[in-house]
Amino acid sequence: MPANKNDGRKLIANNKKAFYDYFIEEQLETGIELAGTEVKSIRAGHCSIKEAYIFVRHGELWVEGMNIPPYEKGNIFNKDPLRSRRLLAHKNEILKFEQKLKEKGYTLLPLEVYFTKGRVKVKIGLGKGKKNYDKRESIAKKDAQREAAKEFKASFRG
């Protein structure tokens, strides 16, 4: 995984499907509570957030469905790969997201997992579900941008 030189982050996993299925209205960087072998597994690049979602329970953010496979060189200290993990955020941010989640159509999703200054961070986003016509519209925009970029490249070659 290439490291971004501009902000010192090393991207481990990202959720491109979240941007396809949802309008992401707000984003927040949170920490995550992990066991030692889970950190080693993430450092090796093993992490999946494709089917993960976030919920609020007892005033805390929890991520469910985030798959961190067991560390190969680990032993009895390996944890369940799909266990719920607590996200670390300020109380007022949690309350703000909790109020938004009560509205119809909103959900919290993990967007990225990355290292910053040796710590694992999870960027979460507040998403509102897209309808099918919104998805078709975003596909058409992407295709138009791709075509414009192709024509732009071709104009310099010709």
pLDDT in the model for residue 68: 83
Q: If we measure between CA atoms, which residue out of 46, 32, 36 comes closest to residue 75?
A: 36
pLDDT in the model for residue 90: 92
pLDDT in the model for residue 107: 86
CA dihedral 75, 79, 80, 85 (to 10 degrees): -160
Distance separating alpha carbons of residues 121 and 33, to the nearest angstrom: 10
Measured CA angle at 50 (ends 44, 53), to 5 deg: 110
DSSP 67: B
Positions of the chain with pLDDT under 70: 1-7, 74, 76-78, 80-81, 157-158
Give, in words, the CATH class of 10-130: mainly beta
pLDDT in the model for residue 53: 85
